[in-house]
């Protein structure tokens, strides 16, 4: 790629990478270690890049692809998204194309010929295609600037997104030893890192590990009472008109929840692997192309989605691990504006996940690993300290004890000495024969003469009615925390009956101190809400006066129109942050507009006139 001397760019700089950043992407400076990665790859080195979602991984291979001779070949697992990625690059005046199964043989040839002729900067390919002999032979003929392996954690067999085709990618190392390779992922844990290095033959690569904090995401975890109502309250108070993702564990629940949200006036769409591929494609497109769509999905949704303005991610069921949780919540707020991660969970989730792990066909070693992951997740849910600290520590980072932007920091959780309550609960489990679930055990503790209690004669045992000092809600919390803390086991084969285990004994003997978190009662949660609304208004409201907000609306309408004309999602034209800045500074000349974050020379050329017209018409 040759760099044309900029005629309109107000910035001149000697450093080629910085010049490309400014000219093509309209950004002022590199973020984090982007500059270091780019420099390393430009010099021909291999790299492994670990950065949180939204950290700016793409530029790490896009810019070297533009500056090195030849085409940058990007391996990306999601065919459905290649088109969007390529569309976004073209908006920035970058010559990009993709090759996947949606193209005809002739179209593939056209792309390959372009690459041969040096008319392409970036070429996206699916992993199953690139490893074919025929593709490798084609690549022999094309000057390749670099190979970028996106979502590199897909190579990990123990991970949550394993794709067998990724294992074949080691062939690139053997076949193209002189071409630099760069693997990128947002999955941070150490075992995944070493799998990426080993399986992709990146032993000589330099490892770049970014801080994993996402300061603009607010973490909220709340015990499950009535999950749909909780979700509805959350959406109404925090996210009217916002785009977001709601995760559920099962397909049936996805469908039900989406339908229920629609009934209540939300623009909600289901997404799961059981849906027809055309329906899935359409729903994903609407999420990307329209404003304010809520997708209700199983975890099959979201990987590789680059939508920057996802304002919330809500989990109605526990994710599989903290890694999965972090990656899924990381899809919120890529644009750096405030976003929420909301999770509700209860003991039934723990039972369900334990059962799923137990009943899977996997090896014992794998099951044990999964159980440990679940325990780490439960530790996060039950913590009384800062959630961000727990997360960052889990990923091997040190972190301050408070972040000021999670529920436990915003309204500190009290803990209470739960030894006596725990002993009562455990002895009740024992006295009733270690086969009943929490609901029945609570009835016994509260001294309720239910049909079941009478049927089993439990009104006569010594723990009958010894727990009247707590409410049934408090007992539910006690049982949940005992299970989460590993002091009680769940019968995963049967109906969720509870039984004692080796950790129960020290508690019963009074040798094990027990601290329970005091689950916030509904009224106290509103305290967070109030503060939060203040903050959101102050940070995200664009304009105070009607004239300015007119301008904002007019800019959004213009963006939607442009997006329709170009058949790309609105954020590919301009991010919210860019429109906001335009509404604020109200540029009157091309030069002023070029100064705005996210306006590169290509966008300036294509849309500059229209933006300036809108500002002139509505900005007065
Ligand atoms: P990732 O792939 O790491 O999740 P992306 O590469 O999609 O993240 O980048 C996230 C967002 O940040 C994108 O909208 C991108 O344009 C923006 N971005 C990346 N680098 C910079 C930078 N140096 N300055 C400003 N914005 C940036
Ligand atoms: Zn915190």
E-state strands within 391-533: 415-417, 489-490, 498-499, 515-517
Res 45: pLDDT: 95
For residue 206, the model assigns a pLDDT of: 93
Q: Which ligand sits nearest to residue 408's alpha carbon? A: 2
Q: How far apart are CA 351 and CA 268, in angstroms?
A: 29
Q: How far is CA 419 from CA 426, 474, 489, 514, in A?
A: 10, 14, 18, 5
- CB-based contact 518:414 (threshold 8 Å): yes
Buried b (16+ CB within 10 A) or exposed e, 445-482: bbebeeeebeebebeebebbebbeebeeebbbbbbbbb
State whether residue 239 is helix, strand or coil.
Answer: coil
Contact predicate 466/445, CB 8 Å: yes
User: Are the CB atoms for 293 and 286 separated by under 8 Å?
Assistant: yes
Distance CA 360, CA 250 (A): 16
Asked if residue 92 has its Cβ within 6 Å of ligand 1, the reply is: no
Q: How far is the centre of ligand 1, averaged over its atoms, from the C-alpha of 430 (Å)? A: 56
Query: 54 alpha carbon to ligand 2 midpoint, in Å?
Result: 20
Residue 158 to residues 196, 301, 304, 307, 377, Cα–Cα distance (Å): 12, 19, 19, 27, 17
Report strand pairing: 96-99 vs 122-125.
parallel
Q: Which of 544, 512, 332 is nearest to 422 (CA)?
A: 512
Question: CA-CA distance, 561 to 566, in Å (whole number)?
Answer: 9
Q: Is 336 in the pocket of ligand 1 (CB under 6 A)?
A: no
Among all bound ligands, the one having the nearest atom to the CA of 599 is 1
- Distance from Cα 57 to the centre of ligand 2, integer Å: 26
Q: Considering every ligand atom, which ligand is closest to the CA of 400?
A: 2
Task: Say yes or no: domain 217-410 is CATH 3.40.50.300.
Answer: yes
Helix (H, G, I), strand (E, B) or coil at 181: strand
SS3 236: helix
Query: Which two three-digit tokens encode residue 359?
Result: 């009943």
- Alpha-carbon gap, residue 535 to 549, rounded angstroms: 19
CB 239 within 8 A of CB 221: no
Q: Residue whose CA is closest, atom 17 of ligand 1?
A: 56
Q: Is the CB of 569 under 6 A from ligand 1?
A: no
H or E, element range at 342: strand 339-345
pLDDT tens readout for residues 201-221: 999 999 998 878 899 999 999
Fold agreement (3-209, 217-410): yes
Which ligand 1 atom sits closest to the C-alpha of 330? 4
Give the predicted TM-score (pTM) of the model: 0.75
Residue 13, pLDDT score: 43
Whether the CB of 477 sits within 6 Å of ligand 1: no
| CA separation, residue 383 to residues 22, 410, 498 (Å) | 44, 14, 23
Ligand 1 nearest atom to the CA of residue 30, by list position: 23
541-617: CATH class: mainly alpha
Q: 59: Cβ below 6 Å to ligand 1?
A: yes
Best residue among 17, 52, 58 to mutate for probing ligand 1's pocket (most ligand atoms within 8 Å of CB) is 58
Residue 178 burial (CB < 10 Å; 0-12/13-18/19+)?
Answer: exposed
What atom in ligand 1 is closest to the CA of residue 150?
2
Q: Ligand 1: which atom is nearest the Cα of residue 597?
A: 25
**Cα separation values, 45 from 123, 259, 283, 348, Å:** 20, 51, 40, 49
The helix/strand/coil state of 59 is helix
What's domain 415-517's architecture?
Answer: Orthogonal Bundle (1.10)
Q: Is 160 in the pocket of ligand 1 (CB under 6 A)?
A: no
Ligand 1 atom with minimal separation from the 571 CA: 14
Q: Tell me if 79 sits within 8 A of 100, measured CB to CB.
A: yes
Helix, strand, coil distribution of the chain in percent, nearest 5? 50, 10, 40
Q: Which atom of ligand 1 is nearest to the CA of 55?
A: 3
Quick one: which of 259, 257, 217 has its CA closest to 238?
Answer: 217
Q: Are strands 122-125 and 71-75 parallel, antiparallel or unpaired?
A: parallel
- 218 CA from centroid of ligand 2 (Å): 8
Compute mean pLDDT per 10 residues along the chain, 620 residues long, and list them: 33 72 91 92 95 88 96 89 87 93 88 92 94 90 94 85 91 95 86 90 91 91 92 94 93 96 96 92 90 89 80 94 89 90 91 83 84 88 92 84 94 90 96 92 96 95 95 90 86 78 93 87 44 41 51 90 89 89 91 92 93 87
Neighbours of 35 (CB within 10 A): 18
Helix (H, G, I), strand (E, B) or coil at 472: helix
Distance CA 151, CA 134 (A): 24
The ligand placed nearest to the CA atom of residue 74 is 1
Task: State the CATH class of domain 3-209.
Answer: alpha beta
Task: Give the distance (Å) from ligand 2 centre to CA of residue 403.
Answer: 4
DSSP 94: -
Tell whether ligand 1 has an atom less than 6 A from the beta carbon of residue 31: yes
Residues 6+ apart with CB under 8 A from 532: 218, 238, 410
**Ligand 1, closest atom to CA 34?**
23
pLDDT at res. 543:
37
Q: Comparing C-alpha atoms, which of 74, 101, 102 is closest to residue 88?
A: 74
Dist. CA 595–CA 11, nearest whole Å: 9
Q: Is the CB of 58 under 6 A from ligand 1?
A: yes
- Rounded to the nearest whole angstrom, what is the distance from the C-alpha of residue 65 to the centroid of ligand 1? 16
Q: What gap in Å lies between CA 572 and CA 581, rounded to an integer?
A: 16
**Domains of the chain: which residue ranges?**
3-209, 217-410, 415-517, 541-617
Q: How far is the CA of 58 from the centre of ligand 1 (A)?
A: 7
- C-alpha–C-alpha distance, residues 453 and 445, integer Å: 11
CB 388 within 8 Å of CB 182:
no
Q: How far is the CA of 57 from the centre of ligand 1 (A)?
A: 7
Name 209's bridge partners.
Answer: 50
Q: Is the CB of 56 under 6 A from ligand 1?
A: yes
Q: Is the four-CA dihedral 493, 495, 496, 497 of positive or negative sign?
A: negative
User: What is the model's pLDDT at position 521?
Assistant: 58
Which has the closest alpha carbon to 306: 27, 26, 570? 570
Distance 333 CA to ligand 2 centre (A): 17
| Residue 418 alpha carbon to ligand 2 centre in Å | 24
For ligand 1, say whether the CB of 64 is within 6 Å of any of its atoms: no
Nearest Cα residue to atom 18 of ligand 1: 56
* Cα(203) to centroid(ligand 1), Å: 27
In 155-300, which ranges are E strands?
181-185, 206-209, 217-223, 244-247, 268-271, 294-297
Instruction: Return the ligand number nearest the Cα of 151.
Output: 1
27 pocket-lining for ligand 1 (C-beta < 6 Å) = yes
Ligand 1 atom nearest residue 25's Cα: 16
Contacts of 265 by beta carbon, 8 Å cutoff, 6+ apart: none
CA dihedral 121, 562, 571, 101 (to 10 degrees): -50
For atom 20 of ligand 1, which residue has the closest CA?
56
pLDDT digits (tens, 9 = 90+) for 22-80: 999 999 889 888 999 999 999 999 999 998 887 899 999 999 999 999 999 999 988 77
Tokens 């790859």 locate to 41
CA angle at 11 for the pair 9 and 14, rounded to the nearest 5°: 120
Residue 345 alpha carbon to ligand 2 centre in Å: 19
């Amino acid at each position: 790629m040759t760099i044309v001397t900029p005629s309109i760019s107000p910035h001149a700089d000697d450093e080629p990478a910085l010049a490309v950043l400014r000219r093509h992407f309209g950004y002022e400076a590199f973020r984090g270690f982007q500059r270091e990665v780019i420099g390393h790859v430009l010099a021909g080195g291999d790299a492994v890049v670990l950065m949180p979602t939204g950290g700016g991984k793409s530029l790490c291979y896009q810019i070297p692809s533009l500056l090195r001779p030849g085409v940058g070949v990007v391996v990306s697992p999601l065919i459905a998204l290649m088109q969007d990625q390529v569309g976004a690059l073209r908006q920035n005046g970058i010559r990009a194309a993709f090759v996947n199964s949606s193209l005809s043989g002739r179209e593939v040839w056209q792309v390959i010929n372009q690459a041969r002729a040096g008319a392409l900067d970036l070429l996206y390919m699916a992993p199953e295609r690139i490893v074919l002999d025929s593709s490798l032979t084609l690549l022999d003929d094309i000057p390749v600037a670099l190979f970028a392996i996106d979502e590199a954690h897909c190579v990990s067999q123990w991970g949550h997104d394993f794709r067998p085709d990724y294992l074949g990618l080691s062939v690139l190392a053997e076949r193209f030893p002189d071409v630099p390779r760069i693997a990128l992922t947002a999955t941070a844990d150490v075992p995944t890192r070493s799998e990426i290095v080993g399986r992709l033959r990146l032993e000589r690569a330099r490892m770049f590990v970014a801080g994993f904090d996402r300061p603009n995401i607010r973490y909220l975890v709340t015990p499950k009472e009535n999950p749909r109502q909780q979700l509805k309250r959350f959406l109404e108070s925090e996210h009217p008109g916002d785009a977001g993702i709601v995760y559920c564990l099962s397909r049936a629940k996805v469908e039900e929840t989406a339908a229920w949200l629609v009934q209540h006036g939300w623009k909600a769409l289901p997404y799961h692997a059981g849906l027809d591929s055309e329906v899935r494609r359409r729903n994903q497109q609407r999420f990307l192309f329209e404003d304010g769509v809520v997708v209700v999905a199983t975890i099959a949704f979201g990987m590789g989605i680059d939508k920057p303005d996802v304002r919330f991610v809500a989990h109605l069921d526990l994710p599989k691990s903290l890694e999965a949780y972090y990656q899924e919540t990381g899809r919120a707020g890529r644009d750096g504006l405030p976003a929420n991660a909301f999770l509700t969970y209860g003991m039934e989730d723990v039972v369900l996940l334990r059962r799923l792990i137990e009943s899977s066909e996997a090896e014992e070693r794998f099951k044990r690993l999964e159980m440990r992951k679940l325990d780490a997740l439960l530790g996060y849910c039950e913590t009384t300290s800062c959630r961000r600290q727990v997360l960052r520590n889990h990923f091997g980072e040190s972190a301050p004890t408070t972040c000021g932007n999670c529920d436990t920091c915003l309204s500190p959780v009290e803990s209470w000495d739960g030894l006596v309550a725990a002993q009562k609960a455990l002895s009740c489990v024992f006295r009733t024969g270690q086969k009943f679930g929490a609901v029945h055990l609570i009835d016994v503790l509260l001294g309720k003469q239910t049909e079941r209690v009478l049927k089993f004669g439990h009104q006569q045992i010594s723990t009958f009615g010894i727990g009247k000092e707590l409410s049934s809600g408090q007992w539910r919390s006690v049982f949940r925390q005992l299970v989460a803390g590993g002091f009680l086991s769940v019968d995963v084969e049967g109906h969720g009956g509870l039984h004692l285990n080796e950790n129960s004994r020290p508690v019963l003997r009074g040798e094990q101190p027990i601290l329970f978190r005091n689950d916030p009662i509904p009224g106290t949660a509103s305290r967070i809400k109030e503060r939060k609304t203040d903050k959101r208004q102050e940070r995200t409201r664009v304009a105070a006066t009607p004239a300015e907000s007119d301008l904002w609306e007019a800019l959004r309408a213009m963006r939607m129109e442009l997006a329709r004309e170009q058949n790309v999602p609105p954020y590919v034209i301009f991010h919210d942050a860019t429109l906001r800045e335009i509404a604020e500074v109200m540029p009157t000349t091309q030069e002023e507009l070029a100064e705005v974050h996210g306006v590169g020379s290509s966008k300036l050329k294509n849309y500059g006139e229209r933006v300036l017209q809108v500002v002139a018409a509505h900005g007065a």
